[in-house]
Protein backbone atom coordinates (compact mmCIF):
# COMPACT_ATOMS: atom_id res chain seq x y z
CA UNK A 1 0.00 0.00 0.00
CA UNK A 2 2.74 2.36 1.07
CA UNK A 3 4.76 1.54 -1.99
CA UNK A 4 1.81 2.29 -4.25
CA UNK A 5 1.27 5.61 -2.54
CA UNK A 6 4.95 6.47 -2.96
CA UNK A 7 4.81 5.50 -6.58
CA UNK A 8 1.76 7.68 -7.09
CA UNK A 9 3.47 10.63 -5.47
CA UNK A 10 6.56 10.08 -7.59
CA UNK A 11 4.47 9.82 -10.72
CA UNK A 12 2.59 12.93 -9.73
CA UNK A 13 5.81 14.84 -9.20
CA UNK A 14 7.14 13.58 -12.48
CA UNK A 15 4.00 14.64 -14.27
CA UNK A 16 4.12 18.00 -12.51
CA UNK A 17 7.72 18.56 -13.51
CA UNK A 18 7.00 17.64 -17.11
CA UNK A 19 3.97 19.91 -17.14
CA UNK A 20 5.95 22.88 -15.94
CA UNK A 21 8.32 22.55 -18.83
CA UNK A 22 6.44 23.90 -21.77
CA UNK A 23 3.17 24.78 -23.45
CA UNK A 24 1.98 23.46 -25.78
CA UNK A 25 3.67 20.11 -25.78
CA UNK A 26 0.95 18.42 -27.81
CA UNK A 27 -2.55 19.05 -29.09
CA UNK A 28 -4.53 21.24 -26.69
CA UNK A 29 -8.17 20.40 -25.97
CA UNK A 30 -10.13 23.65 -26.02
CA UNK A 31 -13.47 23.07 -24.29
CA UNK A 32 -16.38 25.32 -25.17
CA UNK A 33 -18.99 25.26 -22.34
CA UNK A 34 -21.78 25.66 -24.92
CA UNK A 35 -22.96 23.92 -28.07
CA UNK A 36 -21.46 24.60 -31.47
CA UNK A 37 -22.45 27.63 -33.55
CA UNK A 38 -22.45 30.38 -30.89
CA UNK A 39 -20.06 33.31 -30.40
CA UNK A 40 -17.76 31.27 -28.14
CA UNK A 41 -17.46 28.60 -30.81
CA UNK A 42 -16.84 31.12 -33.58
CA UNK A 43 -14.08 32.79 -31.51
CA UNK A 44 -12.37 29.46 -30.89
CA UNK A 45 -12.61 28.59 -34.57
CA UNK A 46 -11.01 31.91 -35.45
CA UNK A 47 -8.20 31.36 -32.95
CA UNK A 48 -7.56 27.79 -34.12
CA UNK A 49 -5.45 28.47 -37.25
CA UNK A 50 -3.39 31.21 -35.55
CA UNK A 51 -2.49 28.99 -32.62
CA UNK A 52 -1.37 26.39 -35.10
CA UNK A 53 0.72 28.93 -37.02
CA UNK A 54 2.38 30.27 -33.86
CA UNK A 55 3.02 27.04 -31.98
CA UNK A 56 2.79 24.22 -34.52
CA UNK A 57 0.17 22.44 -32.41
CA UNK A 58 -3.57 21.98 -32.78
CA UNK A 59 -6.41 23.43 -30.76
CA UNK A 60 -8.92 20.55 -30.61
CA UNK A 61 -12.25 22.30 -30.06
CA UNK A 62 -14.79 20.23 -28.11
CA UNK A 63 -18.17 21.12 -26.66
CA UNK A 64 -19.55 20.45 -23.19
CA UNK A 65 -22.88 22.27 -23.12
CA UNK A 66 -25.47 22.27 -20.35
CA UNK A 67 -26.75 24.48 -17.56
CA UNK A 68 -25.80 27.67 -19.43
CA UNK A 69 -22.13 26.70 -19.17
CA UNK A 70 -22.28 25.54 -15.54
CA UNK A 71 -21.87 21.85 -16.40
CA UNK A 72 -18.45 22.43 -17.96
CA UNK A 73 -17.22 24.96 -15.38
CA UNK A 74 -18.18 22.69 -12.50
CA UNK A 75 -15.95 19.99 -14.02
CA UNK A 76 -12.99 22.23 -14.89
CA UNK A 77 -10.96 21.55 -11.76
CA UNK A 78 -11.18 17.78 -12.16
CA UNK A 79 -9.29 18.03 -15.45
CA UNK A 80 -5.57 17.77 -16.14
CA UNK A 81 -3.58 20.89 -15.19
CA UNK A 82 -0.66 20.07 -17.46
CA UNK A 83 -1.64 22.46 -20.22
CA UNK A 84 -3.38 19.80 -22.30
CA UNK A 85 -6.82 21.23 -21.48
CA UNK A 86 -8.07 24.80 -21.56
CA UNK A 87 -11.65 26.01 -21.26
CA UNK A 88 -13.53 29.04 -22.44
CA UNK A 89 -14.94 31.37 -19.76
CA UNK A 90 -17.73 33.88 -20.15
CA UNK A 91 -18.73 36.91 -18.14
CA UNK A 92 -21.12 37.69 -16.55
CA UNK A 93 -21.93 33.94 -16.39
CA UNK A 94 -19.14 32.83 -14.07
CA UNK A 95 -19.87 35.72 -11.70
CA UNK A 96 -23.67 35.51 -11.59
CA UNK A 97 -24.33 31.74 -11.71
CA UNK A 98 -22.56 30.74 -8.46
CA UNK A 99 -24.42 33.49 -6.60
CA UNK A 100 -27.80 32.11 -7.68
CA UNK A 101 -27.64 28.60 -6.34
CA UNK A 102 -25.21 25.73 -5.89
CA UNK A 103 -23.99 25.25 -9.44
CA UNK A 104 -20.98 23.11 -8.51
CA UNK A 105 -18.40 25.89 -8.72
CA UNK A 106 -17.67 29.33 -7.30
CA UNK A 107 -16.24 32.28 -9.18
CA UNK A 108 -12.97 31.79 -7.27
CA UNK A 109 -12.75 28.16 -8.45
CA UNK A 110 -12.25 29.31 -12.02
CA UNK A 111 -8.66 30.16 -12.79
CA UNK A 112 -9.07 32.64 -15.64
CA UNK A 113 -5.76 33.28 -17.34
CA UNK A 114 -6.74 35.62 -20.14
CA UNK A 115 -9.71 37.70 -21.24
CA UNK A 116 -9.37 38.32 -24.96
CA UNK A 117 -12.43 40.17 -26.16
CA UNK A 118 -15.94 41.30 -25.49
CA UNK A 119 -19.02 41.48 -27.65
CA UNK A 120 -20.16 45.07 -27.06
CA UNK A 121 -23.76 45.62 -25.97
CA UNK A 122 -25.82 47.46 -28.53
CA UNK A 123 -29.38 48.70 -28.78
CA UNK A 124 -30.85 47.66 -32.12
CA UNK A 125 -34.25 48.25 -33.74
CA UNK A 126 -35.85 46.85 -36.90
CA UNK A 127 -34.88 48.76 -40.06
CA UNK A 128 -38.44 50.10 -40.40
CA UNK A 129 -38.69 51.26 -36.77
CA UNK A 130 -39.90 54.78 -36.00
CA UNK A 131 -36.95 55.15 -33.63
CA UNK A 132 -34.27 56.83 -35.72
CA UNK A 133 -32.04 57.67 -32.77
CA UNK A 134 -31.56 56.60 -29.19
CA UNK A 135 -33.23 59.86 -28.14
CA UNK A 136 -36.43 58.80 -29.99
CA UNK A 137 -36.50 55.54 -28.09
CA UNK A 138 -35.87 57.12 -24.72
CA UNK A 139 -38.56 59.75 -25.30
CA UNK A 140 -41.12 57.06 -26.16
CA UNK A 141 -40.11 54.93 -23.17
CA UNK A 142 -40.51 57.87 -20.81
CA UNK A 143 -43.90 58.76 -22.26
CA UNK A 144 -45.12 55.13 -22.19
CA UNK A 145 -43.60 53.29 -19.24
CA UNK A 146 -43.10 49.52 -19.80
CA UNK A 147 -44.53 49.62 -23.31
CA UNK A 148 -41.17 49.77 -25.05
CA UNK A 149 -40.40 46.06 -25.22
CA UNK A 150 -36.85 44.81 -25.66
CA UNK A 151 -35.82 41.34 -26.75
CA UNK A 152 -32.57 39.91 -25.45
CA UNK A 153 -30.74 36.64 -24.95
CA UNK A 154 -31.71 34.93 -21.68
CA UNK A 155 -32.22 36.16 -18.12
CA UNK A 156 -29.44 37.24 -15.82
CA UNK A 157 -27.26 37.49 -18.92
CA UNK A 158 -25.21 40.34 -20.34
CA UNK A 159 -28.20 41.59 -22.34
CA UNK A 160 -30.51 41.52 -19.35
CA UNK A 161 -28.10 43.26 -17.00
CA UNK A 162 -27.42 45.90 -19.65
CA UNK A 163 -31.15 46.61 -19.91
CA UNK A 164 -31.58 46.90 -16.15
CA UNK A 165 -28.54 49.14 -15.72
CA UNK A 166 -29.43 51.39 -18.61
CA UNK A 167 -33.05 51.80 -17.45
CA UNK A 168 -31.73 52.93 -14.10
CA UNK A 169 -29.15 55.26 -15.62
CA UNK A 170 -31.72 56.97 -17.84
CA UNK A 171 -34.56 56.83 -15.37
CA UNK A 172 -37.00 54.96 -17.60
CA UNK A 173 -38.96 51.72 -17.38
CA UNK A 174 -38.84 49.29 -20.29
CA UNK A 175 -39.84 45.62 -20.57
CA UNK A 176 -37.32 42.88 -21.19
CA UNK A 177 -38.37 39.64 -22.93
CA UNK A 178 -35.81 36.83 -22.65
CA UNK A 179 -35.18 34.61 -25.68
CA UNK A 180 -33.19 31.44 -26.00
CA UNK A 181 -29.95 32.76 -27.42
CA UNK A 182 -28.89 35.75 -29.46
CA UNK A 183 -30.21 34.29 -32.71
CA UNK A 184 -33.76 33.84 -31.43
CA UNK A 185 -33.77 37.36 -30.01
CA UNK A 186 -32.57 38.85 -33.28
CA UNK A 187 -35.27 36.92 -35.16
CA UNK A 188 -37.91 38.51 -32.96
CA UNK A 189 -36.45 41.98 -33.49
CA UNK A 190 -36.15 41.64 -37.27
CA UNK A 191 -39.70 40.24 -37.33
CA UNK A 192 -41.10 43.25 -35.43
CA UNK A 193 -42.34 41.05 -32.59
CA UNK A 194 -40.77 43.53 -30.16
CA UNK A 195 -39.92 47.21 -30.48
CA UNK A 196 -36.18 46.96 -29.91
CA UNK A 197 -33.48 44.69 -28.66
CA UNK A 198 -30.47 44.58 -26.40
CA UNK A 199 -28.02 42.65 -28.48
CA UNK A 200 -24.37 42.48 -29.41
CA UNK A 201 -22.47 44.00 -32.31
CA UNK A 202 -21.57 40.45 -33.41
CA UNK A 203 -25.24 39.64 -33.93
CA UNK A 204 -25.89 42.88 -35.78
CA UNK A 205 -23.05 42.25 -38.25
CA UNK A 206 -25.01 39.56 -40.07
CA UNK A 207 -28.19 41.66 -40.14
CA UNK A 208 -27.11 44.84 -41.86
CA UNK A 209 -30.03 46.25 -43.81
CA UNK A 210 -32.56 44.58 -41.52
CA UNK A 211 -31.51 46.19 -38.25
CA UNK A 212 -30.56 49.71 -37.24
CA UNK A 213 -27.96 50.08 -34.50
CA UNK A 214 -28.91 52.99 -32.24
CA UNK A 215 -25.96 52.89 -29.86
CA UNK A 216 -22.91 50.74 -29.15
CA UNK A 217 -21.33 50.26 -25.70
CA UNK A 218 -17.68 50.72 -26.73
CA UNK A 219 -15.14 53.43 -25.90
CA UNK A 220 -14.89 54.49 -29.53
CA UNK A 221 -17.05 53.72 -32.57
CA UNK A 222 -16.76 50.11 -33.66
CA UNK A 223 -15.07 49.86 -37.09
CA UNK A 224 -17.79 47.48 -38.32
CA UNK A 225 -20.45 50.13 -37.56
CA UNK A 226 -18.94 53.48 -38.46
CA UNK A 227 -22.42 55.07 -38.59
CA UNK A 228 -23.55 53.97 -35.15
CA UNK A 229 -22.74 56.31 -32.24
CA UNK A 230 -21.36 55.06 -28.94
CA UNK A 231 -23.35 55.51 -25.73
CA UNK A 232 -20.52 57.76 -24.55
CA UNK A 233 -20.99 60.11 -27.50
CA UNK A 234 -24.66 60.34 -26.60
CA UNK A 235 -23.83 61.23 -23.02
CA UNK A 236 -24.24 57.88 -21.28
CA UNK A 237 -21.18 56.39 -19.69
CA UNK A 238 -21.80 52.78 -20.76
CA UNK A 239 -18.99 50.50 -21.90
CA UNK A 240 -20.11 46.93 -21.49
CA UNK A 241 -20.68 43.58 -23.10
CA UNK A 242 -20.15 39.88 -22.67
CA UNK A 243 -16.48 39.12 -22.03
CA UNK A 244 -14.76 35.93 -23.11
CA UNK A 245 -11.51 34.39 -22.07
CA UNK A 246 -9.62 31.24 -21.20
CA UNK A 247 -9.35 29.34 -17.92
CA UNK A 248 -7.20 26.41 -16.85
CA UNK A 249 -7.75 23.82 -14.09
CA UNK A 250 -6.52 25.07 -10.72
CA UNK A 251 -3.85 22.35 -10.56
CA UNK A 252 -1.97 24.19 -13.31
CA UNK A 253 1.30 25.62 -11.95
CA UNK A 254 1.90 29.37 -11.82
CA UNK A 255 4.33 28.90 -14.68
CA UNK A 256 1.77 27.06 -16.79
CA UNK A 257 -0.90 29.69 -16.14
CA UNK A 258 1.53 32.36 -17.30
CA UNK A 259 2.45 30.39 -20.42
CA UNK A 260 -1.15 29.82 -21.49
CA UNK A 261 -1.83 33.49 -20.86
CA UNK A 262 1.12 34.46 -23.06
CA UNK A 263 0.03 32.13 -25.86
CA UNK A 264 -3.48 33.62 -26.01
CA UNK A 265 -1.95 37.10 -25.86
CA UNK A 266 0.22 36.25 -28.86
CA UNK A 267 -2.82 35.21 -30.89
CA UNK A 268 -4.66 38.36 -29.85
CA UNK A 269 -1.68 40.46 -30.98
CA UNK A 270 -1.67 39.07 -34.51
CA UNK A 271 -2.70 41.75 -36.98
CA UNK A 272 -4.58 39.48 -39.37
CA UNK A 273 -6.43 37.89 -36.44
CA UNK A 274 -7.40 41.29 -35.05
CA UNK A 275 -8.85 42.31 -38.39
CA UNK A 276 -10.93 39.12 -38.64
CA UNK A 277 -12.31 39.58 -35.13
CA UNK A 278 -13.21 43.22 -35.75
CA UNK A 279 -14.94 42.33 -39.05
CA UNK A 280 -17.03 39.81 -37.15
CA UNK A 281 -18.09 42.51 -34.67
CA UNK A 282 -15.92 41.67 -31.65
CA UNK A 283 -13.98 44.26 -29.62
CA UNK A 284 -10.59 43.03 -28.47
CA UNK A 285 -9.26 43.53 -24.96
CA UNK A 286 -6.13 42.17 -23.30
CA UNK A 287 -6.40 41.15 -19.67
CA UNK A 288 -3.49 38.82 -18.81
CA UNK A 289 -3.10 36.50 -15.82
CA UNK A 290 -2.04 38.12 -12.55
CA UNK A 291 -2.91 41.35 -10.83
CA UNK A 292 -4.65 42.76 -13.89
CA UNK A 293 -7.00 39.78 -14.04
CA UNK A 294 -7.82 40.03 -10.32
CA UNK A 295 -8.59 43.73 -10.62
CA UNK A 296 -10.69 43.17 -13.74
CA UNK A 297 -12.75 40.40 -12.14
CA UNK A 298 -13.33 42.47 -9.00
CA UNK A 299 -14.49 45.44 -11.07
CA UNK A 300 -16.88 43.30 -13.10
CA UNK A 301 -18.35 41.68 -9.99
CA UNK A 302 -19.00 45.13 -8.55
CA UNK A 303 -20.84 46.05 -11.73
CA UNK A 304 -22.82 42.84 -12.28
CA UNK A 305 -24.02 41.87 -8.83
CA UNK A 306 -26.05 44.99 -8.03
CA UNK A 307 -27.52 44.89 -11.57
CA UNK A 308 -28.47 41.22 -11.14
CA UNK A 309 -30.16 42.05 -7.84
CA UNK A 310 -32.10 44.84 -9.51
CA UNK A 311 -33.02 42.46 -12.34
CA UNK A 312 -34.49 40.02 -9.83
CA UNK A 313 -32.23 37.10 -10.73
CA UNK A 314 -30.33 37.33 -7.44
CA UNK A 315 -31.84 37.56 -3.99
Residue placing its CB nearer to other proteins in the complex, 95 or 287: 95
What whole-number distance in Å separates Cα of residue 248 and Cα of residue 260? Answer: 8
Q: Does 84 bind other proteins (CB under 8 A)?
A: no
Span of 33-41, 115-123, 240-248, 292-300 interacting with other proteins by CB under 8 A: 33-41
Residue 25 CB-half CA count within 13 A: 11
* Cross-strand pairs, 136: none
Q: Does 225 bind other proteins (CB under 8 A)?
A: no
User: Using the rule CB under 8 A, which residue among 16, 20, 25, 48 binds other proteins?
Assistant: 48
Residue placing its CB nearer to other proteins in the complex, 223 or 290: 223
Backbone angles phi, psi at 28, to 5 degrees: -110, 125
Residues 259-278 that bind other proteins (CB under 8 A): 276
Residue placing its CB nearer to other proteins in the complex, 171 or 209: 209
Residues 124-153 that bind other proteins (CB under 8 A): 146-147, 149
User: Using the rule CB under 8 A, which residue among 220, 272, 279, 294 binds other proteins?
Assistant: 279
CB 167 → other proteins: shortest distance, Å?
Answer: 13
At residue 82, the 3 state secondary structure works out as: coil
Residue placing its CB nearer to other proteins in the complex, 108 or 294: 108
Residue placing its CB nearer to other proteins in the complex, 61 or 263: 61
What whole-number distance in Å separates Cα of residue 261 and Cα of residue 258? Answer: 5
Q: Does 306 bind other proteins (CB under 8 A)?
A: no
Q: Does 3 bind other proteins (CB under 8 A)?
A: no
Which of 274, 257, 307 minimizes the C-alpha distance to 113?
257
Q: Decide if 116 contacts 92 (C-beta within 8 A).
A: no
CB 145 → other proteins: shortest distance, Å?
Answer: 9
What whole-number distance in Å separates Cα of residue 190 and Cα of residue 35? Answer: 24
What whole-number distance in Å separates Cα of residue 108 and Cα of residue 76? Answer: 12
User: Using the rule CB under 8 A, which residue among 20, 25, 57, 60 binds other proteins?
Assistant: 60
Residue placing its CB nearer to other proteins in the complex, 256 or 313: 313
Span of 12-20, 185-193, 235-243, 260-268 interacting with other proteins by CB under 8 A: 185-193
What whole-number distance in Å separates Cα of residue 256 and Cα of residue 17? Answer: 11
At residue 190, the 3 state secondary structure works out as: helix
What whole-number distance in Å separates Cα of residue 295 and Cα of residue 231? Answer: 24
- Give the other-Cβ count within 10 Å of 312's Cβ: 11
User: Using the rule CB under 8 A, which residue among 86, 122, 137, 194 binds other proteins?
Assistant: 194
Q: Does 71 bind other proteins (CB under 8 A)?
A: yes
Handedness of CA 258, 259, 265, 266 (dihedral sign): positive
303-307 — which CB contacts under 8 Å span 24+ positions?
A: 303/165, 303/240, 304/91, 304/92, 304/95, 304/96, 304/161, 305/95, 305/96, 305/99, 307/161, 307/164, 307/165
CB 77 → other proteins: shortest distance, Å?
Answer: 13
Span of 117-125, 184-192, 238-246, 293-301 interacting with other proteins by CB under 8 A: 184-192
Residues that bind other proteins (CB under 8 A): 29, 31, 35-38, 41-42, 45-46, 48-49, 60-68, 70-71, 74, 100-104, 146-147, 149, 154-157, 160, 175-181, 183-184, 186-188, 190-194, 205-210, 276, 279-280, 312-313
Amino acid sequence: MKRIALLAVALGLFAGAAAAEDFPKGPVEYIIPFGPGGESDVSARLQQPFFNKLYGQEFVVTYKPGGGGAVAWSQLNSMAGDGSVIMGVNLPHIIIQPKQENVGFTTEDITSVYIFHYTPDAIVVPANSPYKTLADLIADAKAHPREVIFAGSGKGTGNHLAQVSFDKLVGMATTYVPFKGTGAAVTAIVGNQVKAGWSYTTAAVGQQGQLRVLAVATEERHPAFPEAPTFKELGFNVVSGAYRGIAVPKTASEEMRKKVSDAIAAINANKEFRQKMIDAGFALVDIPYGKEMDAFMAARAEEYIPAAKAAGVLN
